Structure 1
Amino acid sequence: MQKYCGIGLMSGTSLDGLDMVCCNFYVGNEETTYHIEAFREIPYGKEWREKLSGAFYLDATQLNQLDKEYGIFLGKKVKQFCQEHHLTPDFVASHGHTVFHRPEEKISLQIGSGSEIANESGFTTVNNFRMADVLKGGQGAPLVPIGDQMLFGEYDFCLNIGGISNVSFNRHGKRIAYDIAPANMVLNHLASKAGYDYDQDGKIAASGQVNQSLCNTLDSLPFFKQPFPKSLGREWVEGYYLPIVESAPLSLSDQLATCTYQIGRQITHELNDFPTGKILITGGGAYNQTLINTIRQHSHHHIVIPDSVTVSMKEALVFAYLGLRRLRGEVNCLASVTGATSDTCSGDVYQPRPKYLSNNI
C-alpha cells in the first residue's frame, strides 16, 4: 500500500468561500482509503466576492491579471495552512473558480493560476481539470463522480448541493453523473437582497409561500427536460433562471420559498425514477433544512446527511483525489459521466519555482 498526502482546494459557484482540506490517501491494489488530517473553510471577504462574481465581465487583460492574483491568494492560503498544521503535502490540487463554462463551444475557464499557487505554496500543483474532457467533446462536468465511486461507493447516489446540485450513481456497470438544477447560486443571490450571505437553515424560505405558477414556469425551462449528460454554469442561471424569478411580482420570502421548493422537487423528480437506495447529501445545501425537508417529503430513497466535515469538505477532498490520480497517470474524468469520446487523465501540473531563482526570472 502506498501513502500520499495531498491538499484539495474548492471554490464553488455559490461564492461562499474557499474549502481547503489535507488528506492522506492509502492506495492499495483493490481500494483507496483516506484520512482527513486538517481542514479549513475560508469565507470570502466582500472584495474577493466582488472580484470573482465580476470576473465574467472582464476583458482578457483584466481576467489574466485576476487569474494571477487569485492564484497568489490561494498559494498564500495553502502556505499558511501548512505552517499552522505542520503539513508537508506531496501536492496541491485546485479546482479554481469557474468564470465560463460553455462546453458546447469547447470553453471552460477556471481561474487561479496553477503556476502562482505552486510558487507561493512551494508545492507541486495540479489544476485545470476540465479542459481535456471538453476538448474530447465532453461536458467537463461533473468531475467528482470518480471520487464518489472510489471513496464513497457504499452509497447508491451521491448528491452534492452546492452552487449547482449534481448527482452521481452507477447504472449498468458505468458511473453516471450530471447537474440537476441550480441551487445555492440562486438561493444565496436572493438572500443577499436581504443583506445575508445565505438563507441560514432555509428560514427565509420557510417563512414564505410557494408560488405554483412561478414553479411551473421554472420547471418548463428546456434544461430540465434534457437527457443526461448535461451541465450548468453561471451563464445559464443568470441568463434564464434568475430573470424569471426576479420578474415575478412576489416578496423575497416567496421567491426563496418557491425556488427552494422547485430545486428540491427537481432533485426528487430525477432520483425517484430509480430503485430505492441510499442518498449521501453533501455541500452547503445539506444545511438548508427547508430544502432537505422538501427532498425527504417527496423522495422514496433513504436520505443520509453525514458529519459536518464530510458535508463541507467532500468536494475539496475529491479534488485532492483527482490530483493524485493525475500525478499517478490514472483516469480521473469518466466519459460515461461527461459524454466525451474517451476517459481522460486531466489536469495541468506545475512545479514551484526553484528557490535559487529570482522572482524576476
Structure 2
Amino acid sequence: MNTPYFIGLMSGTSLDSIDAVIVSFSPTFKLHAHHSHQLPAELRQQILRLNHTGPDEIDSLGALDIALGRLFADAVQTLLANSGIAATQIHAIGSHGQTIRHRPERAFSLQIGDPASIAEQTGITTVADFRRRDLAAGGQGAPLVPAFHQALFQQRGQDRVLVNLGGMANITLLPDDETRPVLGYDTGPGNVLIDTWIRQQHGLAYDADGQWATQGQIQPDLLQTLMDHPYFAARPPKSTGREQFDLPWLQQALATLKTPPAPVDVQATLLELTAASLGQAIKQHQLTRPEVFLCGGGSHNQALITRLRHHLPDIPITTTDALGLAPDWVEAAAFAWFAMRTLEQQTSSLSAVTGAKGNRILGAVHFA
C-alpha cells in the first residue's frame, strides 16, 4: 500500500524562512523530509510594510500574495527534489501562509501566499486559509496548533506543556486526563522583539544563543513598563501579533524612562520579557508535576531557556526532540496534519482554545 504523504508549510511571525516538511500519519506519525527555504530580504521588507497601514496597500498585497505563493511552491519543489519523493505521491499540501494582519477583535486574520499558485505550480492539491472558519464561528482563529499537539503529544497520566517560541510565544496545556479540555493561547512576544532590536542595533537577523542579551543587565523599570501591557493580564482565549508587540510599542516604552538604558540592556530586558511572561502564564495554571517541551526557533536560544528555567525552577524543560519530533519542524508538520483532516472532513480546531462556538473543519481546498 502506498504511504499517504502530506506536505506542511509554515512561515511565521519571525520572518526568517519557510519551513517545509513531508510527513505521514498512518499507521503512526513519521517525518520523512524537511527543508528550510530562505525568505528573500526584499520580500521580508514588503511583509513588514504590510503589517501596518500605508499607501497602495491593495496592489502591494496582491503582488506579494502571488510572489509568496510562488516562493512557497519553490520550497515544495526543492523539498521534493531533496527527498526523492515524487509530487504524484503527495496527497495534499497544507499551507499556513504568511500573516499580514491578525485582528481577532474585528473577526479577521489575513494570511497570504496564494494557494492557487501553489497548487498550479506543484500539481498538488493545496489546503490553506485555516483561520477564517474559526473566526466566523466566533473564535480567535489562533492558536490552531494545539489540536495537533493534542493528537501527537498528549500522554495519559502526565501533564505536558508545549511551548512554541516563534515570533510570538504560545503554550498548549495538555492535561493528564483526556476528559479535561486542552487549553492554549499566545502568552506574548517570543522572538519578535529580541530579533527586531538586534536587527535595528547591529543589522543581525537574530541574537544567536542570546549572546548579546547575556552581556546586558535586565532593567526592572523597563520590564515593568512592558509587562503593564494589558494583553498580559487578559484572560484566554486570546492571541496576538506584531499589531500589539512591535518596534514602535517598544520605543514608546523607552521614551517613558527618565534615563534611556544601553541598547544591550534593552536586549537583556526583552529576553526577560519573553521568559517572565511565559513563566507567569504556565505557573498560573497550577498543573500537577508538568513537563515543558519547547519548539520553534527560540528553542535554540540557550540564554532564553536559562531564564525560563529560572522562572520555572521545579519543572523539567526540554525540547520536542524528546517526543520524537525536532523543534524546528513541529509547526510545519501541524499544517500537514490540518490538510489531512480537511480532506477527511474532520474537525481540526479546539473551541476551548480559540473561544469559537464549536470545533470546525478548517481550510479551503484548491484541487490539483
**Residues 65-214 of structure 1 aligned to structure 2 (within 5 Å):** 65-87=63-85, 88-154=89-155, 156-170=160-174, 173-193=180-200, 194-214=202-222
Residue of structure 2 equivalent to 1:62? 60
Deviations 1:247-271 (A, max 9, x none): 3512221111001112101111111
Confirm or deny: 8 A CA contact 1:245 1:255 kept in the other structure. no
Which amino acid in structure 2 is aligned with residue 121 of structure 1? T
1:316 is aligned to: 332
Q: 1:218 aligns to what?
A: 226
User: Would the alpha carbon gap of residues 246 and 123 (structure 1) be closer, same or farther in structure 2, given more than 3 Å must change?
Assistant: farther
Q: Which amino acid aligns with 2:171?
A: V
What is the rounded CA distance, in whole Å, between the counterparts of 1:14 and 1:242 in structure 2?
17
Q: Which residue matches 1:45? A: 40
Q: How far did residue 187 of structure 1 move?
A: 0.8
Return the alpha-carbon distance in structure 2 between the equivalents of residues 138 and 240 of structure 1.
28
Match of residue 303, structure 1, among 308, 313, 317: 317
Deviates more, 1:48-57 or 1:221-230: 48-57
Q: C-alpha deviations, 1:120-170, integer Å up to 9, x for none?
A: 111000010000001111000001001100111136111101000000113
2:263 pairs with 1:252: yes
SS at match of 1:174: coil
- CA separation in 1, counterparts of 2:247 and 2:206? 21
Distance 1:311 1:185 in 2: 18
Moved more, 219-228 or 271-280: 271-280
CA distance in 2 between partners of 1:118 and 1:105 (Å): 30
Gap change, CA 1:314 and 1:160, over 3 Å in 2: same
CA distance in 1, matches of 2:65, 2:254: 31
3-state SS of 2:184 partner: strand
Which residue in the other structure is 2:296 paired with?
A: 283
**Stretch of structure 1 that moved more, 304-313 or 337-346:** 304-313
In the TM superposition, residue 326 of structure 1 has moved relative to its aligned partner by 0.8
Matched residues in 2 for 1:185 and 1:178: separation? 17
Inter-partner Cα distance in structure 2 for 1:241 and 1:62: 25
Q: Letter of the 2:339 partner, please give it.
A: G
Instruction: Give yes or no for contact 1:218–1:244 (8 Å, CA) kept in 2.
Output: no
Q: In the TM superposition, what whole-angstrom CA distance separates every residue of 1:24-60 from its partner, at most 9, and x where no partner exists?
A: 1115xxxxx2111110112323222212222234511
- CA displacement at 1:240 relative to structure 2: 6.9
Larger displacement relative to structure 2 (117-126 or 293-302): 293-302
Match of 1:293 in 2: 306
Q: Residues of 1 paired with 2:204 and 2:254: CA distance?
A: 17
The separation in 1 between residues aligned to 2:148 and 2:252, in whole angstroms, is 35
Residues 1:271 and 1:240: Cα distance change in structure 2 (over 3 Å): farther
1:358 maps to what in 2?
Answer: none
CA drift of 1:246 comes to: 4.7
Q: After alignment, is 90-99 or 304-313 more displaced?
A: 304-313
Q: Given that residues 7 and 89 in structure 1 are in contact (C-alpha distance below 8 angstroms), is that contact kept between their aligned partners in structure 2? A: yes
Q: CA RMSD in A?
A: 1.8
Q: Give SS of 1:173's match.
A: coil
Aligned to 1:359: none
Superposed CA deviations along residues 331-351 of structure 1, whole A, max 9, x for unmatched, are: 111111100111111101002
Report the number of matched residues: 347
Q: d(CA) in 1 for partners of 2:318 and 2:274?
A: 18
Structure 1 gaps of 5+ residues are 28-32, 353-361
Aligned to 1:348: 364
Normalised by the length of structure 1, the TM-score is 0.92
- Identity level (%): 33
Structure 2 residue runs of 5 or longer lacking an equivalent are none
| Residues 192 and 246, structure 2, Cα contact 8 Å, conserved in 1 | no
Change (3 A) 1:196 1:136: same
Runs of 4+ in 1 over 4 A off after TM superposition: none
Worse-superposed segment, 264-273 or 197-206: 264-273
Cα distance in 1 for partners of 2:248, 2:97 equals: 25
Q: Aligned equivalents of 1:8 and 1:69: distance in 2?
A: 19
The 1-side partners of 2:223 and 2:252 are apart by 10
How far 1:3 sits from its partner (Å)? Answer: 4.8
Deviates more, 1:275-284 or 1:57-66: 57-66
Please name the residue that 1:24 is paired with: 24
